[in-house]
């Protein structure tokens, strides 16, 4: 009570000093639950109108603190500058985490409106901080005058802070500074335009079929969806689109080769049809600007700029990684293609034949209905199984905490305990609702720092129980649950001093390792035996089911791996260009970058529709999917070798990796745990390619 009052008085004092608020608003601020002190997010007491005033007050408070740091007359020290910056926006982070997380999992029109209004203000605030020359100079002075080689966490925080300023262009002067800023603005417009063009081109094209004969090979649900699509447009017959849920099944099941070719050509030309949505010029300009931005910051290419801040570290490292993996999977990919070629009657096999015959081969070899597994994976049992695994590995247990406020009745809360020590709070939000987006993710309301323990949320979309049936998971959903719990425990077992370095705040190509590694346990009979029982009969899960799943998953493993590498090579090809004028046609760049085992079709390419790298945040980072897989398979091989429940191995994994968050370079953490550099053999073995 005392503490909360004091904090509010401090805040109000700041407002009065700056003469910004009228007394009415002042009163609202004092009453605003989001600005008071609470142990847990006060979901049961937040009103929608609280967000706007709380976020604005928190921004002003942070701005005030930051101004004090920037204008301090004291000589810059680690404490009064770097550490002070780390803590300056803590209240803002806390309040915005509630707002942003709820907007994902329990939103409303009103909340969306508030977020739309406040998100740009928060971005403006952080951009203002990261481009503040006075702060940069102070951090630079700290860096020049001190040696933290003995204190790795302080060293990392200092390096990250300095790097973050530099990577925002703060060190640039005069015209260069203005130009950098203008380029950034143009880039964000171009990224948006790229995605809009791709979407418009995708939506422009449809395949309207009116004769039943044209549907040959398509399963009933695919036909139904196409009929509904047609009805929605007021058309007779069936309508297929280039959106994946329509395009994918059509290419897989349709026996009409002529129509598959039509679909393929339409899909492959998205963003490259020479119309007003053509992305070739957008790509050229994006490449040109990114190259220039990187050069201005002192990097050779955009790729160098991105990779410097990743576990892989450098372009030569990345090229070596990709080359080694490619050489290992290429023979398998060629064999797989030859097999598919054999069961089709076409020479050469064309790209529009591939999915269709790949599916035929899969049916011949691995006909297995994975729905058979569902009765063995009752959600409550899976959850207890996962909790039990964390008990076996780390001695943790999970106590229900019904006293902690929740934002929806479906949410369950647990206190995670290590002996008597509370490690943090876990919110599990498992079922879909209209106010939740699709997918599954882990996030935090509060990250661990010092003695403050984290508050972590895992959100999934598993089907709800009904009156007759409990919630039963697909095998892939069990994997998803394990994956997100892997992220959650990375946050939960964190033991660092600074929040920006805690838990999952690691390099982007490392963050999926602790989550993906947990998926490996799903294939271990010893683990499954602890919880997977038929919910009606109690019969244990037949392990041959798991073998079948693994075999089916490895179907075309070499081919699919090569496909991912090809996309990675395309990404690198564009982002190692020194100058936009060398781009030419995107199609040609892509053709040169990829290892093409199937004939390339003129007018078709991926690049003009490759939103990951031109519209989203994966530029120079597409390799990350494969990178994380190599790491997780490699790490799990150590558990496999020592025993999947081995307490010592787990304790080492916790000590050397999970507890360390981003305080040390992941390459060092990996080496500390494995005693060597990453090796792709474990992944190749898992894919059955060794």
For the bound state, the minimum distance from the C-beta of residue 440 to Zn ion, rounded and expressed in Å, comes to 8
x/- binding map, residues 156-185, to Zn ion, per CB under 5 A?
Answer: ------------------------------
CB nearer Zn ion, residue 259 or residue 517: 517
Residue 548 DSSP symbol: H
Does residue 484 have an active-site annotation? yes
CA torsion angle for 468, 474, 479, 484 (degrees, to 10)?
-50
For the bound state, the minimum distance from the C-beta of residue 482 to Zn ion, rounded and expressed in Å, comes to 11
Residue 597 DSSP symbol: -
Q: Is 455 in the site for Zn ion (CB under 5 A)?
A: no
Residue 53 phi, psi dihedral angles, 5° rounding: -70, -35
Q: Which long-range contacts (CB under 8 A, 24 or more apart) does 200-204 make?
A: 200/277, 201/269, 201/270, 201/271, 201/273, 201/275, 201/277, 201/609, 202/241, 202/242, 202/243, 202/270, 202/609, 203/241, 203/242, 204/277
CA–chain centroid gap for 409, Å, is 27
Please check whether residue 279 is in contact with residue 614, taking contact to mean a CB–CB distance below 8 angstroms.
yes
Q: In whole angstroms, how far apart are CA 481 and each of 34, 70, 156, 371, 396?
A: 31, 45, 32, 17, 18
Structure-block tokens of residue 489: 């425990």
d(CA 170, CA 297): 10
The residues facing 556 across adjacent strands are none
β-strand 396-400 against 238-241: which pairing, if any?
unpaired
Number of other CB atoms surrounding residue 481 within 10 Å: 26
For the bound state, the minimum distance from the C-beta of residue 515 to Zn ion, rounded and expressed in Å, comes to 4
Identify the residue whose tokens are 């360390």.
660
For the bound state, the minimum distance from the C-beta of residue 574 to Zn ion, rounded and expressed in Å, comes to 26
Q: Which long-range contacts (CB under 8 A, 24 or more apart) does 397-404 make?
A: 398/426, 401/425, 404/40
Q: What is the DSSP string of 641-689?
A: HH-TT-HHHHHHHHHHTGGGTTSS-HHHHHHHHHSS---THHHHHHTT-
x/- binding map, residues 526-545, to Zn ion, per CB under 5 A?
Answer: --------------------
For the bound state, the minimum distance from the C-beta of residue 154 to Zn ion, rounded and expressed in Å, comes to 29
CB nearer Zn ion, residue 512 or residue 524: 512
CB nearer Zn ion, residue 240 or residue 623: 623
* Catalytic residue from among 484, 499, 519, 524: 484
d(CA 401, CA 423): 13
**Binding residue count for Zn ion, defined by CB under 5 A:** 2
HEC string of 34-85 equals HHCCCCCCCHHHCCCCHHHHHHHHHHHHHHHHHHHHHCCCCCCCHHHHHHHH
For the bound state, the minimum distance from the C-beta of residue 53 to Zn ion, rounded and expressed in Å, comes to 34
x/- binding map, residues 476-515, to Zn ion, per CB under 5 A?
Answer: ------------------------------------x--x
For the bound state, the minimum distance from the C-beta of residue 487 to Zn ion, rounded and expressed in Å, comes to 6
Please check whether residue 247 is in contact with residue 205, taking contact to mean a CB–CB distance below 8 angstroms.
no
Structure-block tokens of residue 308: 């410097």
For the bound state, the minimum distance from the C-beta of residue 315 to Zn ion, rounded and expressed in Å, comes to 25
For the bound state, the minimum distance from the C-beta of residue 265 to Zn ion, rounded and expressed in Å, comes to 35
CB nearer Zn ion, residue 222 or residue 485: 485
For the bound state, the minimum distance from the C-beta of residue 412 to Zn ion, rounded and expressed in Å, comes to 21
CB nearer Zn ion, residue 515 or residue 659: 515
Q: In whole angstroms, how far apart are CA 148 and each of 78, 145, 165?
A: 10, 10, 19
**How buried is 234 (Cβ within 10 angstroms: 0-12 exposed, 13-18 middle, 19+ buried)?**
exposed
The tally of CA atoms less than 13 A away on the side-chain side of residue 361 is 20
For the bound state, the minimum distance from the C-beta of residue 273 to Zn ion, rounded and expressed in Å, comes to 35
Please check whether residue 568 is in contact with residue 505, taking contact to mean a CB–CB distance below 8 angstroms.
no
Please check whether residue 240 is in contact with residue 206, taking contact to mean a CB–CB distance below 8 angstroms.
yes
> CB nearest Zn ion: which residue?
515
Please check whether residue 472 is in contact with residue 379, taking contact to mean a CB–CB distance below 8 angstroms.
yes
Question: Where along the sequence are the contacts to Zn ion (CB under 5 A)?
Answer: 512, 515
Residues annotated as part of the active site: 484
């Amino acid at each position: 009570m005392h503490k909360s009052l004091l904090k509010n008085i401090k805040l109000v004092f700041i407002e009065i000093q700056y003469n910004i608020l009228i007394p009415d608003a002042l009163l609202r601020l004092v009453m605003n639950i989001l600005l008071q002190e609470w142990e847990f997010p006060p979901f049961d007491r937040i009103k929608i109108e609280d967000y706007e005033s709380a976020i604005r007050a928190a921004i002003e408070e942070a701005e005030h603190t930051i101004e004090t740091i920037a204008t301090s007359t004291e000589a810059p020290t680690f404490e009064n500058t770097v550490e002070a910056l780390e803590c300056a926006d803590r209240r803002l982070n806390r309040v915005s985490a509630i707002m942003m997380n709820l907007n994902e999992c329990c939103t409303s029109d009103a909340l969306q409106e508030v977020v739309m209004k406040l998100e740009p203000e928060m971005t403006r605030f952080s951009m203002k901080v990261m481009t503040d020359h006075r702060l940069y100079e102070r951090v630079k002075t700290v860096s020049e005058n001190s040696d933290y080689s003995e204190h790795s966490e302080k060293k990392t925080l200092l390096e990250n802070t300095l790097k973050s300023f530099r990577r925002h262009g703060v060190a640039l002067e005069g015209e260069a500074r203005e130009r950098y800023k203008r380029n950034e603005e143009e880039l964000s417009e171009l990224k948006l335009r790229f995605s809009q063009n791709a979407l418009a081109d995708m939506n422009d094209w449809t395949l309207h079929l009116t004769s039943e004969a044209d549907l040959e090979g398509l399963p009933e649900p695919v036909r139904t969806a196409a009929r509904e699509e047609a009805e929605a447009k007021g058309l007779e017959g069936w309508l297929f689109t280039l959106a994946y849920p329509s395009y994918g099944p059509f290419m897989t099941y349709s026996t009409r080769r002529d129509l598959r070719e039509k679909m393929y050509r339409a899909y492959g030309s998205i963003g490259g049809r020479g119309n007003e949505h053509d992305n070739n010029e957008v790509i050229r300009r994006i490449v040109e600007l990114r190259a220039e931005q990187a050069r201005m910051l002192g990097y050779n290419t955009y790729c160098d700029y991105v990779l410097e801040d990743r576990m892989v570290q450098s372009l030569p490292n990345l090229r070596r990684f990709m080359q080694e993996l490619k050489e290992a999977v290429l023979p398998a990919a060629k064999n797989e293609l030859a097999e598919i070629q054999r069961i089709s009657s076409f020479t050469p096999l064309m790209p529009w034949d591939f999915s269709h015959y790949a599916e035929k081969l899969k049916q011949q070899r691995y006909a297995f209905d994975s729905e058979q597994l569902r009765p063995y994976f009752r959600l409550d049992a899976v959850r207890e199984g996962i909790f039990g695994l964390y008990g076996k590995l780390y001695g943790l247990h999970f106590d229900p905490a019904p006293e902690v406020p929740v934002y929806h009745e479906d949410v369950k809360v647990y206190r995670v305990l290590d002996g008597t020590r509370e490690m943090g709070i876990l919110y599990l939000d498992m079922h879909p609702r209209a106010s939740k987006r699709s997918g599954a993710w882990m996030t935090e309301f509060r990250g661990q720092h010092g003695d403050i323990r984290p508050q972590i949320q895992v959100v999934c979309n598993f089907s709800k129980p009904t009156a007759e049936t409990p919630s039963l998971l697909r095998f892939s959903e069990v994997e998803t649950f394990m994956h997100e719990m892997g992220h959650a425990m990375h946050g939960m077992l964190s033991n660092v001093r600074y929040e920006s370095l805690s838990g999952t705040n690691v390099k982007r190509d490392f963050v999926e390792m602790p989550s993906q590694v947990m998926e490996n346990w799903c294939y271990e009979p010893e683990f499954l035996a602890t919880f997977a029982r038929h919910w009606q009969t109690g019969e244990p899960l037949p392990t041959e089911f798991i073998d079948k799943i693994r075999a089916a998953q490895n179907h075309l493993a070499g081919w699919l791996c090569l496909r991912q590498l090809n996309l990675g090579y395309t990404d690198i090809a564009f982002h190692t260009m020194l100058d936009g004028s060398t781009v030419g046609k995107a199609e040609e760049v892509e053709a040169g970058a990829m290892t093409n085992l199937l004939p390339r079709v003129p007018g078709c390419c991926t690049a003009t529709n490759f939103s990951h790298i031109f519209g989203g945040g994966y530029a120079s980072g597409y390799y990350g999917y494969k990178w994380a897989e190599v790491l997780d398979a490699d790490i799990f091989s150590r558990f496999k070798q020592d025993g999947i429940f081995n307490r010592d191995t787990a304790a080492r994994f916790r000590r050397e990796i999970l507890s360390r968050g981003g305080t040390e370079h992941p390459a060092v953490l990996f080496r500390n745990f494995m005693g060597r550099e990453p090796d792709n053999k474990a992944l190749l073995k898992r894919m059955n390619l060794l």
